[in-house]
Structure 1
Amino acid sequence: MLLRDFYMFPQADTLPQLINKIEKYCRAQVTFPLLNLNDDWRDAEYDFNRLFVGPQALLAPPYASAYLETEPQLMGNSTQEIRGLLHALGLSVRDENQIPDDHISYEIELCLVLIKQAPQQPIYQEALAWLVSDHMGHWLPKFIANSENQAQTPLLLAITRVLSLWFNDLQRRIS
């Protein structure tokens, strides 16, 4: 859930607490930079916006459709596939039609919901396998590579490493 929260446009004043929680869980595998100065946090915030929010063209768009569509676009077929899956499972995203359903935060949360429900209902296990292998497996590695190549701060590089480790572990557990 911490990764979900990180990628869902955190407020600048909540970023340090969120990063500290992520670091607590991941310090054995990922080295986080020491950030004590306001300038360090401001640089990380600017880097986050440059990569994932804008206002300029996004260097690492956090939407599956940006990577899966023939012509990069938001709210494309991949967004509709995720929305269809959510609705078939009786779920929906918060802020539907405001933030595309294939935003990385929503997909991380969907994975967590499906993992929790999979032991009780085989349909959730099938949905999780499709989501991880056939959907996220085709776009998330590209997103991670864009994030690694475009990040300018050690903090964003560390978070990208955490995301990569999480997804690799998820793929291993699903296969």
Structure 2
Amino acid sequence: MAQEDSIGMTDIYRFLARSMRYPDAAWMDDQYFAIISNILNGLGWDDESRDLADFLDFSADWLEPIQIEYTRLFVNAVPSVIAPPYGSIYLSADGMLYGPSAVSVKEFYQEKGFELAGEGDLPDHISSELEFLALLAEQGNQADEDLFLNKHFRTWFPKFKEKLLGEVQHPFYRILVKLIDFFTREE
């Protein structure tokens, strides 16, 4: 991978990682939406770009609906969380959080010198995995990036994507999961 491609993927992975955290006005602002719009336009995703623009034009307070949808999809819903953003949920037979797959992800991180930012952060949260991919891309470590994608991320992401797309009510998360799929799928 060329150096400029590595820098580009570093930025994209970081952008996607941040996007999968709880929406906060400190970073989810006009500049943020300009970036996502540029990505969509660059990919030629006219329908998604129009859906996002329509939402932003329609809603004076766009942050709260995104926060509500984040909570509904990823934090709490009755009777259970709709699309838990943790790989171990999809990889263990009983849907256990922080199962063997999460331990394996954490060991991979440790081998590469990656530390989770917060003490309570789980290693297999989608945001943590995307941030780790950004680190590997930044280092130009294509072999480890491919290994991590194949051994960890791609083993559970399709199930997560399917759950999310089946239940999502907000165009932002529908667009976001499609972007994650596009940038992490096997070439």
Structure 1 and Structure 2 fold alike (TM over 0.5): yes
Aligned twin of 1:115? 137
Pair 1:9 & 2:16 matched: no
Give the structure, 1 or 2, with the largest relative contact order (CA under 8 Å, sep 6 or more). Answer: 2
1:131-142 paired onto structure 2 within 5 Å: 131-142=148-159
Identity in percent: 23
**1:1-175 matched pairs, under 5 angstroms:** 1-12=14-25, 14-17=27-30, 18-27=32-41, 28-29=44-45, 30-31=48-49, 32-33=51-52, 34=54, 35-36=56-57, 37-38=59-60, 40-54=62-76, 57-96=80-119, 98-118=120-140, 124-168=141-185, 171-172=186-187
> Distance in 1 between the 2:153 and 2:73 partners?
19
Cα distance per residue 1:25-80 (max 9 Å; x no partner): 22232424222323654333211211112265321111111111111122211111
After superposition, the CA RMSD in angstroms is: 2.1
- Residue 95 of structure 2 aligns to a residue whose secondary structure is coil
Q: Is the 8 A contact 1:74 1:100 kept in 2?
A: no
Q: Show CA shifts across 1:85-119 (max 9, x none).
A: 111112211113x021111111111112112324x
Q: Which runs of 5+ in 2 are unaligned?
A: 1-13
CA distance in 2, matches of 1:62, 1:154: 18
TM-score by length of 2: 0.77
| TM-score, normalised with respect to structure 1 | 0.82
Q: Structure 2: how far apart are the matches of 1:165 and 1:126?
A: 19
Amino acid at match of 2:183: W
Alpha-carbon distance in structure 1 between the residues aligned to 2:137 and 2:62: 36
Q: Which runs of 5+ in 1 are unaligned?
A: 119-123
Between 142-151 and 37-46, the greater mean CA deviation after superposition: 37-46
Distance 2:167 2:28 in 1: 20
Q: How many equivalent pairs are there?
A: 164
Is the 2:23–2:63 Cα contact (8 Å) retained in structure 1?
Answer: no
Checking the alignment, whether the CA contact within 8 Å between 2:23 and 2:66 is kept in structure 1 is: no
Structure 2 distance, partners of 1:85, 1:65, is 15
For residues 118-143 of structure 1, give each alpha carbon's deviation from its aligned partner in whole angstroms, at most 9, with x where no partner exists. 4xxxxx44432321112111101111
